């Protein structure tokens, strides 16, 4: 019988430490590259966290955090009892949920369609064209939309030419949410599709070759090969987006909203900005803490569901 070497339990930690040191020698440059990002996170994300105490105080800048009066949950009670606060939260949820749903479905569909184009010149031209709006700020796009969607804009002129009634896209509360969601999709769907195009390029082509031998067409290949291969990255994107459930994009809404559509278009961030501009730091901090807590719960629940349903996990 051949003898096998048995590692003593006392020597196992020493060998493990040696392997760790060897691994660190090989990867120390990568750790050094991460150092600026880690320091930035510590300085700008974790160091200010004691400031959440302002949410439970009647904060006065000249008294500081430690010297301001402690009021407990009064700021949170005031937020939820203010006139219009419930409607604002409801508006934020509706806009955010619809943005998450369509913000996932549209880029995936676009990536699938773009992946079917075989002419590389045409494919790159389309990619460049749909990426461009992402790099424009909402200040610029807001001005463009105000001009294009006005009663004298090109869209309503087209409606008039087709003998249709003009629509006040940004002045009618019933149309405002649709306008916000569609304009956000137009701006972001091309850039959001990058991650799905990258996932498509990583699918083993032998799977398609084997399915062709079995007689599968492009539709069945999409249903039984492409979509299941995209499912893990779709789960990741959806899980991460849950953390922004109460962030309906302040930049966009602020540049498009007006008094005529406040009932359907006012969100938490614009509500806070409009009502808490007179130094009410405690109320603003309470709103921020509430949003962060809800986002943490949602992203934790989404991560748990992703692990249970698709076996996706980070650690």
Is residue 30 assigned to a domain?
A: no
Q: Are residues 71 and 121 in the same domain?
A: no
Is residue 46 assigned to a domain?
A: no
* Residue 9: predicted pLDDT: 54
Is residue 292 assigned to a domain?
A: yes
* CATH at residue 234: 1.10.3720.10
For residue 225, what is the DSSP state?
I
Distances (CA, A) of 206 to 110, 212, 213, 225: 23, 10, 11, 11
- Rounded to whole angstroms, the Cα distance separating 79 from 272 reads 9
Domain that holds residue 302: 52-81+276-310
E-strand spans in the chain? 57-58, 69-70
Q: Are residues 181 and 197 in the same domain?
A: yes
Strand-pair partners of 57: 70
Q: Are residues 95 and 206 in the same domain?
A: yes
Q: Are residues 61 and 172 in the same domain?
A: no
Is residue 21 assigned to a domain?
A: no
Per-residue pLDDT of the chain (315 residues; tens, 9 = 90+): 445 445 455 555 667 677 777 877 888 888 889 899 999 999 998 888 888 888 898 888 888 888 888 888 888 888 888 888 888 989 999 999 999 999 999 999 999 999 888 888 888 888 888 888 899 899 999 889 989 988 888 999 998 898 888 888 888 888 999 999 999 999 999 888 999 998 898 888 888 888 888 888 888 888 888 888 888 888 888 888 887 888 888 899 999 988 888 888 888 888 888 777 667 888 888 888 888 888 888 888 877 877 777 776 665
* Residue 181: predicted pLDDT: 93
Per-residue three-class SS string for 136-199: CCHHHHHHHHHHHCCCCCHHHHHHHHCCCCCCCCCCCHHHHHHHHHHHHHHHHHHHHHHHHHHH
Q: Please, is 42 exposed, middle or buried when counting C-beta atoms within 10 Å of its C-beta (0-12, 13-18, 19+)?
A: exposed
Strand-pair partners of 58: 69
Q: Are residues 97 and 173 in the same domain?
A: yes
Is residue 8 assigned to a domain?
A: no
Classify 58 in phi/psi space as left (phi over 0), alpha (psi -120 to 50) or beta.
Answer: beta
* Residue 231: predicted pLDDT: 87
Is residue 304 assigned to a domain?
A: yes
Q: Are residues 75 and 94 in the same domain?
A: no
For residue 133, what is the DSSP state?
G
* Residue 258: predicted pLDDT: 87
* Residue 8: predicted pLDDT: 52
Over its C-alpha atoms, the chain yields an Rg (Å, rounded) of: 26
Is residue 170 assigned to a domain?
A: yes
Q: Are residues 113 and 251 in the same domain?
A: yes
Q: Are residues 298 and 221 in the same domain?
A: no
- Total number of domains constituting the chain: 2
Q: Are residues 133 and 231 in the same domain?
A: yes
Q: Are residues 117 and 142 in the same domain?
A: yes
Is residue 36 assigned to a domain?
A: no
- Rounded to whole angstroms, the Cα distance separating 190 from 108 reads 10
Q: Are residues 94 and 184 in the same domain?
A: yes
- Rounded to whole angstroms, the Cα distance separating 58 from 84 reads 22
| Element spanning 286, H or E | helix 281-310
Q: Are residues 220 and 74 in the same domain?
A: no
């Amino acid at each position: 019988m051949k003898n096998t070497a048995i590692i003593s339990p006392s020597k196992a930690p020493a060998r493990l430490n040696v392997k760790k040191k060897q691994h660190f020698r090989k990867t120390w440059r990568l750790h050094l590259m991460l150092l600026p990002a880690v320091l930035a996170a510590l300085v700008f994300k974790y160091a200010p966290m004691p400031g959440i105490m302002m949410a439970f105080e009647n904060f006065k800048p000249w008294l500081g955090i430690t010297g301001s009066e402690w009021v407990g949950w009064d700021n949170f009670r005031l937020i939820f009892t203010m006139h219009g606060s419930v409607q604002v939260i409801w508006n934020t949820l509706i806009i955010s949920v619809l943005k998450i749903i369509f913000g996932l479905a549209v880029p995936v569909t676009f990536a699938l369609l773009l992946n079917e184009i075989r002419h590389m010149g045409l494919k790159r031209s389309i990619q460049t064209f749909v990426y461009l709006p992402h790099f424009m700020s909402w200040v610029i796009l807001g001005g463009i939309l105000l001009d294009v969607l006005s009663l004298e804009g090109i869209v309503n002129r087209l409606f008039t030419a087709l003998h249709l009634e003009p629509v006040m896209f940004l002045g009618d509360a019933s149309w405002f949410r649709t306008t916000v969601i569609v304009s956000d999709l137009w701006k972001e769907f091309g850039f959001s599709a990058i991650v799905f195009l990258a996932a498509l390029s990583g699918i083993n082509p032998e799977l398609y070759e084997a399915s062709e031998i079995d007689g599968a067409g492009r539709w069945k290949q999409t249903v039984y090969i492409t979509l299941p291969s995209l499912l893990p990255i779709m789960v990741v994107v959806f899980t991460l987006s849950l953390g922004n459930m109460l962030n309906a994009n302040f930049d966009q809404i602020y540049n498009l909203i007006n008094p005529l559509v406040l009932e359907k278009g006012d969100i938490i961030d614009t509500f806070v900005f409009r009502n808490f501009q007179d130094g009410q730091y405690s109320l603003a901090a309470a709103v921020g803490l509430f949003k962060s807590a809800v986002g943490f719960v949602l992203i934790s629940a989404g991560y748990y569901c992703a692990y249970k349903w698709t076996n996706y996990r980070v650690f």
